[in-house]
Amino acid sequence: MFNLILFGPPGSGKGTQAEKLIEKYKLVHISTGNLLRAEIEAKTPLGLEAKSIMANGKLVSDEIVIGMISKKFDENPHAGGFIFDGFPRTIAQAEALDKMMQEKKYRLNRVLSMEVSEQELVKRLLNRGKTSDRADDKNEDVIRKRIKEYWDKTFPVAGYYEQQNKLSGIEGEGSIDDIFNRLTTAIELQTNKV
CB 68 within 8 A of CB 34: no
Q: How far is the CB of 36 from ligand AMP (least distance, A)?
A: 5
Between 146 and 182, whose beta carbon lies closer to ligand AMP? 146
Give the active site residue among 128, 138, 153, 166: 128
Amino acid type, 164: Q
Instruction: In whole angstroms, give the CA distance from residue 84 to residue 87.
Output: 6
- Which residue, among 84, 134, 90, has the nearest Cα to 109 in the 3D structure? 84
CB of 146 to ligand AMP, least distance (A): 5
CA atoms in the 13 A half-sphere facing the CB of 6: 32
Shorter beta-carbon distance to ligand AMP: residue 120 or 188: 120
- Minimum distance, C-beta of residue 153 to ligand AMP, in the bound complex (Å): 8
- Residue facing ligand AMP at closest CB distance: 33
Of 29 and 193, the one with the shorter C-beta distance to ligand AMP is: 29
The catalytic position among 72, 89, 110, 182 is 89
Which parts of 116-189 are beta strand (E)?
Answer: 167-171
**At closest approach, how far in Å is the CB of 44 from ligand AMP?**
15
Q: Does the active-site annotation cover 89? A: yes
Which residue, 59 or 167, is less far from ligand AMP as judged by CB? 59
Strand order across the 28-31 sheet:
28-31, 82-85, 3-7, 108-115, 167-171
Q: How far is CA 116 from CA 22, 31, 98, in A?
A: 22, 20, 27
Q: Given the residues 20, 51, 134, 144, select the one marked as catalytic.
A: 134
Nearest-Å Rg of the Cα atoms of the chain is 16
128 is catalytic: yes
What distance in Å separates the CA atoms of residue 194 and residue 58, rounded to the nearest whole number? 38
Contacts with ligand AMP by CB under 6 A lie at 10, 32-33, 36, 53-54, 57-60, 65, 86-87, 89, 93, 136, 146
Catalytic residue among 37, 72, 146, 182: 146
Catalytic residues, which ones? Answer: 14, 89, 128, 134, 146
